[in-house]
A and B are shown apart, each in its own frame.
Chain A
C-alpha cells in the first residue's frame, strides 16, 4: 500500500531532550516536507527536500533540523525542544515538485514538550 508513515504518533517529552520524528514513504517520491499545525495558524511548512541531500527551509525552520540521506526517509530532528514546539506535525511527499504534484500526507505526530 502506498503510504507515508510517521513515528511516533504521540510523544510527550521535556524541554531540552533531543528527539527525532521519523518519516518514510514507499512511493519513490523525490519531494518530501515537514509541516506543523497549530490552532488558529493552520499548517506551516518547516523544511522541504527536493531530493537526496537537497533540503531547504520553509516558513518556520527555527529549532528544527532535517536530513535526507535516503530517498525514502526524511527525519525531523529537534535538538533542544521547547514548549513552543508543542504541535501536530505532518510529513508529506510528492512525486516531483511540491507545488505541481499531489501531496501525500502522513498520519501526523502529536508532540507535547513540557
Chain B
C-alpha cells in the first residue's frame, strides 16, 4: 500500500534562505509525482509534475528532484521570500497508472522578513 510522508511538518526560516522540503513514498513503482502549494483558505496550486523517467523539474526558483529507487522527492526553494509562505504537498498515484492520487500531509512553511 502506497504511503506518502512529508518531513518536516512545519518549517520557519528567515527570508533569503535556500531550503529543502522532503517527500517520501513507500512504493517506488510510481508513474509520476506532483508538488502542490496550498495557501490558507484556498485551494491547491500545482507547482511541478515530475514524470517517472525524469530526475528533476525546474520552475523559476523551484526545483523538484525525484529518486524512485530510494522513494524520495525533494522540493528545493531558492532565495525564499515571505510570499513563499504556504503549505506544500506532494502527491503520487496510489498504484502505477491509477487515477487515485494519494497526498502527503504537507509541510507548512513560514518565511519571515
Interface size for chain B: under 10, 10 to 19, 20 to 34, or 35 or more residues? 20 to 34
Given contacts A40-B105, A45-B101, contact A102 B43 (CB under 8 A): no
A-B contacts counted at CB < 8 A amount to 67
Instruction: Enumerate A58-99 residues with CB–CB distance to B below 8 Å.
Output: 58-59, 90, 92, 97-99
Minimum CB–CB distance from B54 to chain A (whole Å) comes to: 13
Contact A99 B31 (CB under 8 A): yes
Q: Which chain B residues lie closer than 8 Å to A59 at the CB level?
A: 94, 100, 102
0 or 1 for each of B40-59: is its CB under 8 Å from A? (1 = yes):
01111110010000000000
* B31-A100 in contact (CB<8A): yes
Q: List 21 A-B contacts (CB under 8 A).
A: A40-B105, A43-B91, A43-B103, A48-B100, A56-B99, A59-B100, A90-B43, A90-B44, A92-B44, A97-B97, A98-B93, A98-B99, A99-B32, A99-B97, A99-B100, A102-B34, A102-B49, A104-B46, A105-B45, A106-B43, A107-B43
Residues of B within 8 A of A (CB): 31-32, 34, 36, 41-46, 49, 89, 91, 93-94, 97-106
3 closest A-B pairs by beta carbon, nearest first, are A105-B43, A99-B93, A43-B103
